[in-house]
Amino acid sequence: MPVNLPMPKHADLLAVSGIKLGIASAGIKKENHPDLVLMALAEGTITSAVYTQNTFCAAPVTIAKQHQKEAKPRYLLINSGNANAGTGKAGLEASKSCCKAVAEIANVDANVVLPFSTGVIGQQLPVDKIKHAVPDAFQNLTADNWFNAAHTIMTTDTVAKAVSKQVEIDGHTITVTGMAKGSGMIRPDMATMLAYIATDAAVEQTVLDKILARAVAQSFNRITVDGDTSTNDSCILMATGKAQNSMMVEFESNAAQALYQVVAEIMQQLAHAIIRDGEGATKFVEIKVKQGRDAEECRQVAYTIAHSPLVKTALFASDPNWGRILAAVGRAGIDALDLTKTAIYLDDVCIVEQGEPAQSYSEEKGQKVMDREEITITVELGRGQAEDVVWTCDFSYDYVKINAEYRT
C-alpha cells in the first residue's frame, strides 16, 4: 500500500484549455486493458522537455528529442507495458511508425508527434497493436480525461498520480494539471519515469524552459527509490496560451514567478507521490543535509544514505540501527569532513553530536521515530551554509517480490 497517498479524484483534475486526452487498449500486456494515451495539443502550444541521461536511452526518447528539435509538438503518444528500450534500429523504426499512424489520422507531419513508452525493457514494441488502437484514442479525445490517462500510463504503480491547481495572475485564472507514473527504477538524472504537466498560460519559450528546469531540480531530481535511472525518463511541460494572459517574457517577472511556484508545487507533489508509491514502500523518508560547503556535497551525502540497502532495510524493520546512517555519511566521500562538527538526527531526536553518540539519545526515543510511516533524517556537516534534500522510501520484502516477478 502507498504511504499516506490518496487516490486522485476525477472531479479534482481540471481540464486545461487547449489539451485533450484520448484512451485506448492496444492489448500490449492484457487484452481490453487501457494502455495507450494520446494527448492532442492545440496549435500554438509550446513545450519544454527533459529526458533521461541513461546512455541506453529508449527509442522513443531518441525520436521525441529529434522531433522536438524539428517542429512544435501537436500530439503525444504514450504506451505502457513495453519500454521499447534496448531494441536497436528496430525500436527506432517502431517509434517512427507509431508517430506516422497518429500523423496520418490527424493529417499532420509525423515529426509533430512525440512518442513515449514505459514497461519491460528489451522487448520489441508491438507496433501493429498500437497502430490498430490509435483510431480509438482519437475517438475519445476529451479535455477532462486526465483521470483515465493517469491510470492508463501506470505499470507497477498501485495508485494513479495526478494533481491540478489554479492561480490568479494579472486578473486571469491560470490552470495547471499534471500526471506522472513511476514506482520502481527511480533515480532520475533529469525528471522521472514519465511526467506530463500542462498549463493554459501564455509563456515565452525561454521562460517555460527555465520554469521546467528549476521545478525539475527541486522535485523529480530529488527522489530515489532504488538508485536505478530508467532508460525512458521523460518530463514534458506544455503551455497552450489559452488563458489569454499577457505573454510572460521574463522569468524574473511576478507573473512568471507565480506560474513557476504552481508548477513546482505540482511537480513536487507528483515526485512525492512516486516515492510514497515506491515498489513495496512502507515509509516515506526525507533526508536533509545541512551546513555543507555547497549543495552538491549535501546531495552526495543524502543520496549515499538514500541508496544504502542497510539503511533502507532498517527503515523497513523500524529498527533504530542508526549506525548504518552514520556509516553511510562516513563513506559519502566528503573531503576533510570534521567529525567533531557533525550531527545526525532522526526527526528531532539527536543520535550523533560532535561525531559521537548523543548523550540525550535513548533506544526508546529512536524506536518511537522509526515506528512512524514518515521520517526525516537530518545530517549537519558543520562546514558551510549550503543545504539540500532528497526523498526516498524503505526496502521491503515486496520490493524484491515485485521486481523478481516483474515479467511473469
- pLDDT of res. 264: 98
Lowest mean pLDDT among 74-78, 354-358, 374-378: 354-358
Q: What is the pLDDT of residues 138-168, one digit of tens each?
A: 999 999 999 999 999 998 899 999 999 999 9
What distance in Å separates the CA atoms of residue 233 and residue 347, rounded to the nearest whole number?
32
Task: Give the pLDDT band (50/70/90) at residue 92.
Answer: very high
Mean pLDDT of 217-225: 92
- pLDDT of res. 45: 98
Task: Give the pLDDT band (50/70/90) at residue 333.
Answer: very high
* Residue of 192, 224, 304, 392 marked catalytic: 192
- pLDDT of res. 402: 81
- pLDDT of res. 169: 95
Task: Give the pLDDT band (50/70/90) at residue 217.
Answer: very high
Mean pLDDT of 331-355: 95
Mean pLDDT of 12-36: 96
Residue 63 backbone phi and psi in degrees, to 5: -70, -40
What is the 3-state composition of the chain as percent helix, strand, coil, each rounded to the nearest 5? 35, 25, 40
In the chain, CATH 3.10.20.340 sits at 284-404
- pLDDT of res. 27: 96
- pLDDT of res. 189: 67
Task: Give the pLDDT band (50/70/90) at residue 362.
Answer: very high
- pLDDT of res. 202: 98
- pLDDT of res. 61: 96
Q: What is the pLDDT of residues 387-405, one digit of tens each?
A: 999 999 999 998 888 888 8
Mean pLDDT of 48-72: 94
- pLDDT of res. 400: 85
- pLDDT of res. 50: 94
Mean pLDDT of 211-216: 96
* pLDDT of 375 above 60: yes
Mean pLDDT of 254-270: 98
- pLDDT of res. 7: 87
- pLDDT of res. 190: 56
Instruction: Give 117's Cβ-side CA count (13 Å radius).
Output: 34
Distances (CA, A) of 389 to 299, 306, 377: 7, 11, 10
Task: Give the pLDDT band (50/70/90) at residue 214.
Answer: very high
* pLDDT of 242 above 80: yes
Question: What number of residues does the chain have?
Answer: 408
- pLDDT of res. 151: 97
The grid cell for 344 is 545526525
In the chain, CATH 3.60.70.12 sits at 10-276
Which pTM value belongs to this model? 0.94
The DSSP letter of residue 9 is: P
> For all residues of the chain together, what is the average pLDDT?
94
Domain 10-276 has CATH 3.60.70.12: yes
What distance in Å separates the CA atoms of residue 263 and residue 191, rounded to the nearest whole number?
14
Pick from 191, 195, 198, 218: nearest CA to 259: 198
The grid cell for 383 is 562546514
Q: Give domain 284-404's CATH superfamily.
A: ArgJ beta chain, C-terminal domain (3.10.20.340)
Q: Is 192 a catalytic residue?
A: yes
